[in-house]
Amino acid sequence: MFTLPDQNLSWTVNRLAGRTLAGLLCVAICAPIGSATNGAEQAPNSSAVQPAASPTNVQSASNVDETKISPAGIRKLSGKHITLYTDLSPQPSVDELPAVFDQAVALWQEFLGLDKAECERFHIRGAVMRDRERFKTAGLLPPSVPDFQNGWTGKGEFWINDQSSEYYRRHLMLHEGTHGIMFAVQKSQGPPWYMEGVAELLATHRWKDGQLAVGVFPSDAAEVPKLGRIEIVQTEFARNRALKLRDVLAYDNRAHLQNEPYAWSWAAVAFFHEHPRYRERFSRLLKKPARQDFNAQMRTIFENDRQALAEEWQIFVANLVHGYDFERMAIDLNTDAAPIQGNAEFDVAANRGWQNTRLLVEKGRRYRIAGEGEFLLGTKPQPWVSQANGITLRYHHGLPLGVLLAGIRGTTATPEIRPNGGPPQETENKHQAEPSDRVTLINPAVIGTAATFVAPRTGVLYLRVNDSAGGLADNSGTLAVRVFEQPN
């Protein structure tokens, strides 16, 4: 993590501690999911902090006595932008690391809008270690480097411990490299959630046939073994410990001594980077040096979206899966809805998340919702034909895949979605919607073929069919839904 002055930064308040960056980029990287130590980082001690580095001296690491390298059982791997020392035996996944790093520099340059000439000159030294004593003997791991669990970055150099996953070994190297280039070339000194979140985003990668892609959103857990960021958020949500977006933005310098903040920081940056409503504005921020007033800039740029951000973040967290489809999960937040008169009809698309019916339901009034027709869920291994009751052979959030769901989004300024809400709950009577105030877009009512719906609040009616946020793209067809008011 970056060693920054203590801050108390939130979505609505920005109180800086009044100190400037004390100095050197000091990064300790969290462990992969499943680590016995839970990946807690080692706190940087004061002796590790050095004067702030300039673009030239940040790339100059301590001198290396090359005569000690080979006798210690260490190899030197050279690239254009990195010199890497390792005691790992020759193997493609190790020997290609400099090539991976060199490709990353070009991608970081474009992604962050960095000066091309400075990126051409950028160079860092790294170590991938299985036996740390060898590196101490060779003078490659000086006593000034504190003990660390997985990784540490100093001036112009970094050290990472070897990992059981080839993917996560590359991920750690790219995370460290992102910090290095953001500090040396972009001169960024932003808040912890941003610096760690961007490093996680640009370390999350795909390496195939000698070609690197960074900033990818994982489509499958097997694509990013040992990373576990999505699994952490899912677990926290299931344990009723999900964070509001403002809580993530308020992380201080001590937060990333634990593993979970890395997942939340990545999730926040990925959310802003991928969401169609916010990504263009966030992309402009990514291409500027981040300062300690970064959260204040965010607050200004997204001031008119605070309500939408609070709600859409919570829906994102509640539905986060590998392959999350931001386009299809984006919500129409228009509150211009008309009261239901007579029999209202609405077609629910099977390949989208929550859909705004533009129908206003009023608190305490009773409504009948009925769905008719067939639609297709998925294509592999074969298309599943579903009706409004869903497919009981497959489940999502504990409910049949494809079952018709209803939620109400309030028209007031206060978000009605609970930040730590659980998955939707099925009522004892499958044909009776849940008669409580928990009928939201996170805790929807199960409608199925037909159900009586007593509105717990006044708001806009939303409908969708139950499916994973990562499984919408190959759905097709629509469900014809009728909504009408019944006497109480």
Domains of the chain are: 7-319 (1.10.390), 331-486 (2.60.120.430)
The two structure tokens encoding residue 373: 């027709």
pLDDT at position 475 is 96
pLDDT for 28: 38
In degrees and rounded to multiples of 5, residue 454 shows phi and psi of -95, 115
Task: Give the C-alpha separation, 350 to 369, whole Å.
Answer: 17
* pTM of the full structure: 0.83
Alpha carbon distance 226, 32 (integer Å) = 5
pLDDT at residue 61 in the model = 60
The per-residue pLDDT for 356 is: 98
Which helix (H) or strand (E) element contains residue 194? Answer: helix 192-203
Beta pairing class for 124-129 and 75-78: unpaired
pLDDT value at position 58?
A: 36
Q: What residues have CB less than 8 Å from 5, skipping those under 6 apart?
A: 16, 17, 18, 19, 20, 21, 22, 253, 292
DSSP three-state, residue 391 = strand
Residue 454: enclosing H or E segment and its boundaries?
strand 450-454
How much is the pLDDT for 53? 30
Helices 166-181 and 192-203 sit at what angle, rounded to 10 degrees? 130
pLDDT the model gives residue 149: 79
> Could you state, in chain order, the average pLDDT of each consecutive group of 10 residues for the chain (488 residues)?
27 24 33 32 27 33 87 97 98 98 98 96 96 96 87 86 95 94 90 96 97 97 94 96 96 90 97 98 95 93 94 96 98 94 95 98 96 93 92 92 96 43 36 48 95 93 97 97 92
Q: Give the pLDDT score at 105.
A: 98
The pLDDT of residue 412? 60
Report the C-alpha gap between 355 and 265 in whole angstroms: 28
375 by Cβ neighbours in 10 Å (0-12 / 13-18 / 19+) ranks as buried
